[in-house]
Structure 1
């Protein structure tokens, strides 16, 4: 049961991703309804068989004042697909400030990238232009829907109508 379930708010907007046991509990306690279930999987108890949730919708609207992606080390790694943005390596990863902090660079989505230790040390306290290194992609702040759809690692084709086209 390691797959994830898309949770929709009452207005069918994407709200969150949760585990299958948590989604089942929300449906069982009548706090949510099943919108889409897996065709070939079921949850079984000793005496009953239940649908395996893929998308659920909350019965009550939950107001979320900040609907963005929190900037964390793990989320930057997810955005950059755990790949060094200079050489493409996947091992010994760390974070790099594109514009170094000593030169006024901030710790934000638009200035942090995933880098391997070798490239980070080679770049040092220089900008990519000064060090002769180029980024594979420019850093950016992902939207909430983009993050769920493209970077959560557990996207399901049944989620796409609620997350928008790529």
Structure 2
């Protein structure tokens, strides 16, 4: 069981285990906003409902902007596992501007690509191949990208994640 942690301003911060959430509540660093009924945690003195959503009592300043690191898995997920050139199922990633020509590993230069298109394209640009990208690659946005763990969101979290969007 996982618990959504909200900052004092009700923006999502992270997803933690229910054990960590109970420790935060017991130490009065957070309060429970929503509980999971019917499956309590038993302690030596009492039972406590498992928290589904907690809010911190003090505001936590998150340093810097939340930049999503570029990963192969992230590029495939951003593009829906569909080739950026033909639209078929993609299992690899491709540099729009090839690395041999100075292309970097950035969200704007990487697209999901099927094996066939990746091999045919080789060391050329889409313009040289007379190909068009189906989408404009860019950095992903939204809470499911900036808040760790929300890609497998609990339905109870939806109203709180919608506030941050």
Same fold (TM over 0.5): yes
Q: 2:98 aligns with which of 95, 100, 117?
A: 100
Contact 2:84 2:111 in 1 (8 A): yes
The Cα shift of 1:8 comes to 0.9
Q: 1:135 aligns with which of 133, 136, 145?
A: 133
Aligned to 2:88: 88
The Cα shift of 1:64 comes to 1.0
TM-score, with length taken from structure 1: 0.75
Unaligned runs of at least 5 residues, structure 1? none
Residue deviations 1:32-90 (CA, integer Å, cap 9, x gap): 11112234x52332664422322211122211122323323133233233444344325
Contact 2:68 2:145 in 1 (8 A): no
Q: 1:59 aligns with which of 48, 57, 60?
A: 57
Greater RCO, CA 8 A, separation 6+: 2
TM-score, with length taken from structure 2: 0.75
Aligned to 1:32: 30
Query: Is 1:45 aligned with 2:45?
Result: no
Distance 2:47 2:77 in 1: 36
Distance 1:105 1:63, change over 3 A: same
Report how many aligned residue pairs link the two structures: 160
